[in-house]
Structure 1
Amino acid sequence: MDSQAISLVRSSFKSIVAEEGGPEQLARTFYSLLFARSPETREFFPAAMDVQRDRLFTAIGYVVDSLDESDEMLEYLAQLGRDHRKYGVTDEHYNDVANSMIEAFEMFGGAEMWTDEVDSAWRNTLSVISAAMTGAANAADGPRAWTATVVESRAVIKGVAIVRLQLDQPMDYRPGQYVSVQVAARPRMWRYLSPANPVDGSGIVEFHIRQVSGGWVSPPMVNQTAVGDTWVIGSPIGALGLPDNIRDLLMIASGTGLAPFRAQILELIRRGNTRRVHLFYSGQYPCDLYDLPFLWTLAEKHSWLTVIPVSEEGSNPWWHTNPEPLPPLGFPERITGKVGKVVTSYGTWPGHDIQLVGNESMVNSTKFRLRAAGIDVATVRSDPTYGVQ
């Protein structure tokens, strides 16, 4: 796409997002038009559409921002296309989606905003999106989705569980990616989770799951999962992973955001890594660092790994009565404070490949601290679509 078309797409999208209630109104209009044009597509989505509307705008916003980074954008769309195979989506459905989106934009924007030039730019954009997604989906030779059987489920702290499953077929994913997961208790409702272990040939995949307040899917995952349950897992998505370069690594994680870094560290061990890895593992309370003993065990065996525990509060909440684990001799003790401030107190990390995973608030506040310390946050890798899955 040429620069003028990209500019028109971005400016029109930003105008819609800036309107009060604009994203929600546009999404409602789009799905109404899509379900009228293609009624069978309603079966792809849950009854409650609020989360789906958030996902739609997150995905569109990411693509719009990446239009001039074609390789990154096309790879993301290819991953998304392979993942959408789990729904049984056809090429005709993509046409219906594009036509419904154009109609919704036109209805929302009105004649003043939706000029012939804007219309043409969006049609070209949606054509690129459809082509990338359908091309990848049609070329994929693996299963549309994987079935996995729960072999272990255990609570590690209140509201957090570790679940291990046996896949029915091999799955190839990069440590750091995430997958969509559906449980029987919530049909057509998908939660996105990062495997906490790399592919090792065993067919075992491990998830670290936090119960989200008011969430639909995470409560049954955390509280009702039993050995023998069957989950459905979609194709891997995401841009995080071990870089091809040999630079040292700085990983900043909050809570269950540890999972993609845990998988990467285990993969580095498998490869016989020699680069330095600094992992800042954070949470609100000390008990949120539920996997700290395991990480210390790894660090004791591999001198290139340094784990710095951080918590915003100095003590645990009343409901957590287990004693706080003590670090091995010579290891960094837990630091109380905001993780971004702690990270930058160690310096500006020149020559490091930096990755950041956590909730939106943590990611934004940490990037603010990094930027204030003189670190170019454009080089900090943080999967922008992960948090709203």
Structure 2
Amino acid sequence: MAPSGPASAQPPVSAEDVALVRASLAVVAPHVADLAAYFYHILFTRYPQVKDLFPAELDVQRERLVRALLRIVELVDDPGNLIEFCSRLGRGHRKFGTQSAHYPAVGECLLQALSHYAGPAWSPELAGAWQRAYTAAAEVMVRAAEEDARHRPAVWDARIVDRVHRGHGIAEITVQPQQPYPFVAGQYVSVETPWVPRQWRHYSPAHAPRPDSRLTFHVRAVPGGKVSNALVHHARLGDPVRLGPPEGDMVLRSTKGRDLLFVAGGTGLAPIRALIEQAARDGIGISQEVSLFIGARTADELYGLDDMLRMSQRYHWLRVRAAVSHQRIVGLEGTLPEVIAEFGPWYRHEAYLCGPPQMLGGAVAALRRHGIPPHHIRYDPWDTPVLTAPLGPPQPEEETDQL
């Protein structure tokens, strides 16, 4: 595979390889969960030295392996997006300690697992097709990681310097990196804590970049979530954390005179607040209207609303509205999609959204119904964004949501 980048005109594998790989995936699809477990068993048996790169509990990791594999197969005949996706994976894997020498071992064990569950359908031709597809993806990941290493560290060591409880299991955690940490408002950061080593979780800075590189995250203690509960309930000042590089595409774009609409649910307010702060720095509100909708189940869960109302007093161009879905309150009752629809139309707006998946889905659908084309609706997927993020800008004629 030529390292010419996204513009390469030649597919990384042949059409015959693509057909073979996709047909075999249909055969193993009913067994993907077992296949992932079998893969890790083989990998750790043959190459025990790599086990230290993985968390002790592999349930989430198995799911991510399957999702990454499915995405690569989906893109195997789409060179531009395959390169973009695998480059993101390669850069992201640096924080795990992944080295270029690890990729052949992973490929060997992956093919072994595939052959085991493909059964009689496995053949030398199929093995060759999978080997070429995997090699193409791995080469892109290695090149992206090597290029990334020339410009920035794999991780940033930091310490917790402040923790403020906001109620309802939410805390504001402020950390001080030991090195400057460059990011853009709206991006997110992967965080590793000492209480759950090698388990990384994504959190968004709740502000635009600061001169001292301090980062403040809004963290909700998720039931059963070891990382979030540790940060909210057990973290102390001075505790160390590690930060992965900033990621994400939900950053302010040139709006060409379009007004701005921000929609936030739960701790999704953090990156939205950062974007509004950046809009104020850039002077966007002077000539454009900026609207913010914050949603929660009850009024008590509308954390951060008072802060945003104070911000709207400071910036006359910012309009703030709230909605609660599980409590009868005059003037506030309704889901975010319902309230957004009530205050439209929005066809002249650029929309930025962050929140739980159900809220995102409903809000995107509501905005589409009220005239905002998909290429003017921006969000980063929940959970593990690199595995589900839309690749490339959506085209104006596209009619399907990318959640």
After TM superposition, the score normalised by the length of structure 1 is 0.83
Amino acid aligned to 2:195: A
| Ranges in structure 1 where 5+ consecutive residues have no aligned partner | 317-332
* 3-state SS of paired residue (1:177): coil
Q: How many residues align?
A: 369
Equivalence for 2:332: 335
Change (3 A) 1:369 1:228: same
Which digits, 9 at most, give the CA deviation of each residue in 1:123-177, with x for residues without a partner?
4443333222211221223222111111110110121100011110012222222
Give the equivalent residue in structure 1 for 2:118.
Answer: 109
Distance in 2 between residues matched to 1:67 and 1:346, nearest whole Å: 43
1:296 aligns with 2:309: yes
Residue 153 of structure 2 is aligned to residue 143 of structure 1? yes
Look up the equivalent residue of 2:295 and give its one-letter code: S
Cα deviation, 1:180-239, whole Å, max 9, x if unaligned, reads 211111122222111212223211011000111111211111101111111111112223
Q: Structure 1 counterpart of 2:275, which letter?
A: Q
Tell me what 1:322 maps to.
none
Q: Which runs of 5+ in 2 are unaligned?
A: 1-10, 387-403
Does structure 2 conserve the Cα–Cα contact (< 8 Å) formed by 1:76 and 1:238? no
The answer on whether the counterparts of 2:349 and 2:376 sit within 8 Å (CA) in structure 1 is no
- Return the match for 1:383 from 364, 380, 383: 380
Match for 2:47 among 38, 43, 63?
Answer: 38
Matched, 1:363 2:372: no
Question: Relative to structure 1, is the Cα distance of residues 302 and 288 closer, same or farther in structure 2, using a 3 angstrom cutoff?
Answer: same
Q: Do structure 1's residue 266 and structure 2's residue 304 form an aligned pair?
A: no
CA distance in 2, matches of 1:121, 1:380: 38
Determine if the alignment matches structure 1 residue 230 to structure 2 residue 243: no
Q: In structure 1, which of residues 45, 48, 60 is the aligned counterpart of residue 57 of structure 2?
A: 48
- Pick the aligned partner of 1:93 from 78, 85, 102: 102
Q: Deviations over 1:46-82 (max 9, x none)?
A: 2211122223334444455556765555344334323
SS at match of 1:200: coil
1:314 matched to which residue of 2?
Answer: 327
**Identical positions, percent:** 33
- Which residue of the partner structure matches residue 328 of structure 1? none
Equivalence for 1:165: 175
Residue identity in the other structure for 1:256: T
Whether contact under 8 Å (2:291, 2:320) holds in the other structure is yes
Q: Secondary structure at the match of 2:379?
A: coil
State the SS of the aligned residue for 2:245.
coil
CA-based RMSD of the aligned residues comes to 3.0
- Please list every run of at least 4 consecutive aligned residues from structure 1 whose deviation after the TM superposition is greater than 6 angstroms: none
Asked if 1:126 corresponds to 2:123, the answer is no
Q: 1 CA distance for matches of 2:137 and 2:69?
A: 10
**Against the structure 1 CA distance between its residues 107 and 271, is the aligned structure 2 distance closer, same or farther, given a 3 Å change threshold?**
same
Cα distance in 1 between the residues matched to 2:130 and 2:26: 13
Q: Which amino acid in structure 2 is aligned with residue 278 of structure 1?
A: S
Give 3-state SS (helix, strand or coil) of 1:91's partner. Answer: coil
2:287 maps to 1:278 = no
Distance 1:104 1:216, change over 3 A: same
- 2: CA distance between counterparts of 1:61 and 1:25? 15
CA drift of 1:388 comes to 7.3
Letter in 1 for 2:339: V
Q: Secondary structure at the match of 2:45?
A: helix
CA contact (8 A) 1:76 1:237 kept: no
Where do residues 53-92 of structure 1 align in structure 2 (5 Å cutoff)?
Answer: 53-65=62-74, 71=80, 74-92=83-101
2:267 — aligned with what? Answer: 256
- 2:56 and 2:333 map into 1 onto residues whose CA distance is 43
Task: Report the CA distance shift for 1:60/1:177 in structure 2 as closer, same or farther (over 3 A).
Answer: farther
Deviation at 1:346, TM superposition (A): 3.0
Structure 1 partner of 2:191 = 181
**One-letter code aligned to 1:138:** E
Secondary structure at 1:336's aligned position in 2? coil
Distance 2:297 2:51 in 1: 39
Change (3 A) 1:385 1:335: closer
Q: TM-score, structure 2 length as denominator?
A: 0.81
